[in-house]
Structures are given as C-alpha cells and as structure tokens.
Amino acid sequence: MAEPPAVDFYYGLGSRYSYLASTRIAGLEAETGCRVRWRPLYSADLFAARGADPFQGAPLSGQYDWAYRRRDAEAWADYYGVPFREPLDVRFDGRRLALAATAAGRLGAVERFSCRLFQAVFAAGVSPLDDAALRQIAGEGGLDEERFAALLDEPETAGMLATTVAEALAAGVFGVPGFVVAGRVFFGNDRLPILRHALVKDRPGRSPV
C-alpha cells in the first residue's frame, strides 16, 4: 500500500491566517488521506533569512493593511464557523511561542499544543502569554509541565526551530501559513481548496471524474 502523501504545514502561532488554516487540518486529512506535519516557526525569522519583510515600512498593498486583515480574518472565521478575537491586547513573544510548540513537538504533542495555543491567542485572548501561561497550557494538554519547561530552554529546541526555518526557506516557503507537498508550495489559508484539489487529484486509485 502506498504511503499517504505528506504535507508540511509551516505556521506561526501569532499569525491569524495560520490559526484559521489550523482549524481545517483535520478535515483536510480526512478528506484526502494526507498526513500533515505541523512545523511551527517564527515568521520574522523566515523574513530575515529571506532578506525581505512585507510588514516593514508602508504596506506594499491593501492586503497588508492591519484593519483590512482584521476584517478579512473575521470574515474567514465566520465562514469556517470558528471563534476569532483580534489579539490587540494579547502580549506575547512570537519566537517564544514557536519555541514552545517545538518543545511540545519533542514530547509528541505539537498539534495538540499548537491548537490550544492558537485558542489562547485568537479565541480566549489570554495575556500575557508568558512562560507561566505556556506551562499551564502544556499541562492542560496532558504534558508534563516540568519536562516541557526544561525543553523550552534547551539549546536543542532552539536548534530544531532554526532547522525548521532553514527547511522552510529551502522549500521555497516565503510566509505563513505555507504548505509544501511533493516540492510544491501553497501559500495562505485561502489556498487550502487548491491544496485539497491537488491532493485528491493525485490520489492513487482515484476514479476519473
């Protein structure tokens, strides 16, 4: 039997569109038979590695205007039927959140932890999202809080996060959420229908329509 197609899901925990996309992952796997690998990173690190940050300076286009992005995210959340709260007053360090998700991944719980963290940022408005809050979220998700806290500060965890950024860059990912399957990049929450189509179209044994 052929292995299910693997999809690398590169996402940022402070990214509204990554949050929205994350709510569709379970359905994508069920509908297409793919296996999604959750790859947390900090998008500013990716931009720095690329040498280009679309959020620096005047907006390149209207889509980068913060007011537009808020309205757009609210519309997508309404379409998906998921909660969304613009995190205007949520204090967090995006790189620290990525490290926390990486640490959870070392405990075999990257998806479970990331989903809980997304809820904290974009639904519950938990603030500040400091180390104490991260430990609590880990514990509520069934992880050993002491082990999680230790992994959060281990150099190996930081090294794994750096590797994720390097691999995203090498794959051609230029922003989050980014999906990579068989060397092909799909960027953005709104590209999920095209990704699903590609996965279904290329599925072994699929009957022609």
Task: Tell me what the pLDDT averaged over the chain comes to.
Answer: 93
- Which tens digits make up the pLDDT trace of 156-169? 999 999 999 999 99
pLDDT digits (tens, 9 = 90+) for 139-158: 999 999 999 999 999 999 99
- Give tens-digit pLDDT for 88-116: 999 999 999 999 999 999 999 999 999 99
Average pLDDT of span 167-187: 97
b/e code 95-112 from CB counts within 10 Å (16+ = b): bbbbbbbbbbbbbebbbb
C-alpha 25: how far from chain center: 10
Q: How confident is the model at residue 170 (pLDDT cuts 50, 70, 90)?
A: very high
pTM: 0.92
Taking the C-alpha atoms of 171, 172, 175 and 177 in order, what is their torsion angle to the nearest 10 degrees?
Answer: -50
Q: What is the CATH number of domain 6-201?
A: 3.40.30.10
